[in-house]
Amino acid sequence: MRLFRNRPPDNRPADNHVHTRWSWDTPDASTMRRACERAIAQGLPAIAFTEHLDFTVWHEDDAATSQGLIDRHPAYQRPIDVDGYWAELTECRERFPELRIWSGVETGEPHLFATSVAEHLQDSPVDRVLGSLHSLSLDGQLVGVGRLLYADPDATMRRYLGEVVHMIESSDVFQVLAHVDFPRRYWPGGSEHYVEKDYEEEYRAVFRALAATGRALEVNTSSPLASVDQVRWFHEEGGEAISFGSDAHAPTAVGQRFDLAVDIVETAGFRPGRDRFEFWRR
Ligand SMILES: [Zn+2]
Ligand SMILES: [Zn+2]
C-alpha cells in the first residue's frame, strides 16, 4: 500500500469557484494552466473558472439605476477580457483531457445588474454562474462590506444577510449562492470573534429562500469554514444541494481545505451526487 500513500482521497469534489488572471483582482501569474495542474495533483475531478463579473458602469434598465445608485466605492473592478479567457480555457481543455474544465462567472450583486449580466451571458454563455453579495448601498454608492463593518458590525451583518435573501428572491441568474457570510472574513478584531449562532435566524431565512428555489449553497474554503451547525441549518430548511468552492485567487489555493469541508458537509447530512461532477445532495 506504500505505493499509494501520497495519492489524494478519491472523494474530493469539483472546485466550482476559482479565479485566474482574467479576474480584475487576481495576479497575472495565476494562470488557468497552473490552476489545472494543481487541481489534478489534488485529485479533483473538475474545476470551474468563475471570474468576477462586476460592473462599475451600469445599464439604464438595471435595478442599480432605478435605485439611484451612482457609483462604487472602491471601483477597481474591470470587465472580463472574454477573448483572452476563452482562448486560455480552450487551450487547457485540450491540454488536460483528464480534468473536466467548466467556464463560469461570479456575478457580484446580480439582482442589481440583471440586464448587464444578461447581456454578458448572451455574448459569452458559461457552465457555472455564482451569485455573490460583496457590497451594500450607502448614500447612493455601492460600498464594499468590509468598509461598512467597522462602523457597526452587528447591524451590517444583519443587513447583509437580509440583502442576500432579497438577492435570491429577485435574481434567478445564478445556480450557486457563493460565500453566504462573506463579511465574516473582515470581522473587526479577527474572524475568530464572529459568532455564527448570533445570526441563526438570519441564516435560516437565507437558507429557506435558497432551498425554495432548489439552488446550491456553496461551502467556501477561503472564508473561515462554515460550522457543521450552519450547514445543518441549510439541511433543516430543506436545502438540496451543496457546492464546494476554494475561491482561489492563486493556483496553490485550488481545492484548499476540501477534506475538512467534505467532513463538515457529510456530518451535516449531505452526500455526493450521482457522480463526482455533481453537486452534493441531501
Ligand atoms: Zn466573492
Ligand atoms: Zn470569488
pLDDT greater than 60 at residue 3: no
What tens digit of pLDDT does each residue of 246-268 get? Answer: 999 999 999 999 999 999 999 99
| Domain membership flag for residue 7 | no
Residues with CB under 5 A from ligand 1 (ion): 132
Calculate the dihedral angle through the C-alpha atoms of 253, 163, 65, 138, rounding to the nearest 10 degrees: -90
Q: How far is the CA of 247 from the centre of ligand 2 (A)?
A: 5
Q: How far is the CA of 5 from the centre of ligand 2 (A)?
A: 32
Instruction: Print the domain residue range for 53.
Output: 13-270
pLDDT greater than 60 at residue 4: no
C-alpha cell at 179: 460565500
Cα of first residue to Cα of last residue in the chain, in angstroms, is 33
Q: How far is the CA of 34 from the centre of ligand 2 (A)?
A: 17
Confidence category of residue 1, pLDDT binned at 50, 70, 90: very low
| Domain membership flag for residue 1 | no
Number of domains in the chain: 1
What is the pLDDT at residue 8?
A: 74
| Domain membership flag for residue 276 | no
**Mean pLDDT estimate for the chain:** 96
Pick from 44, 14, 17: which is nearest to 248 by CA?
17
What tens digit of pLDDT does each residue of 82-128 get? Answer: 999 999 999 999 999 999 999 999 999 999 999 999 999 999 999 99
Q: Kindly give the pairing relationship between strand 100-108 and strand 280-281.
A: unpaired
Rounded Cα distance between 208 and 239, Å, is: 7
Closest ligand, as measured to the CA of 23: 2
Three-state secondary-structure class, residue 18: strand
| Domain membership flag for residue 275 | no
Q: How far is the CA of 155 from the centre of ligand 1 (A)?
A: 21
Closest ligand, as measured to the CA of 16: 2
| Domain membership flag for residue 282 | no
| Domain membership flag for residue 224 | yes
Q: How far is the CA of 53 from the centre of ligand 2 (A)?
A: 10
What tens digit of pLDDT does each residue of 213-240 get? Answer: 999 999 999 999 999 999 999 999 999 9
Q: How far is the CA of 202 from the centre of ligand 2 (A)?
A: 22
Ordered strands of the 135-138 beta sheet:
71-73, 141-144, 135-138
Task: Decide: residue 143, CB within 10 A, 0-12 exposed, 13-18 middle, 19+ buried.
Answer: middle
- CATH number of 167's domain: 3.20.20.140
What is the pLDDT at residue 9?
A: 76
pLDDT greater than 80 at residue 273: yes
For residue 279, give every residue at least 6 positions away whose Cβ sits within 8 Å of its Cβ, in sequence order, or none. 216, 241, 242, 243, 273
Closest ligand, as measured to the CA of 221: 2
Closest ligand, as measured to the CA of 249: 2
Pick from 9, 31, 13, 98: which is nearest to 248 by CA?
31
What is the pLDDT at residue 28?
A: 96
Closest ligand, as measured to the CA of 247: 2
Confidence category of residue 11, pLDDT binned at 50, 70, 90: confident
Confidence category of residue 7, pLDDT binned at 50, 70, 90: low
Which residue type, as a one-letter code, is found at position 253?
Answer: A
| Domain membership flag for residue 171 | yes
What is the pLDDT at residue 209?
A: 98
Q: How far is the CA of 1 from the centre of ligand 1 (A)?
A: 41
Closest ligand, as measured to the CA of 108: 1
Q: How far is the CA of 250 from the centre of ligand 2 (A)?
A: 11
Angstrom distances, CA of residue 53 to CA of 32, 183, 245: 17, 19, 17
What tens digit of pLDDT does each residue of 132-184 get? Answer: 999 999 999 999 999 999 999 999 999 999 999 999 999 999 999 999 999 99
Closest ligand, as measured to the CA of 182: 1
Positive or negative, the CA dihedral 71, 74, 76, 82 is negative
Rounded Cα distance between 105 and 7, Å, is: 31
| Domain membership flag for residue 231 | yes
What is the pLDDT at residue 270?
A: 98
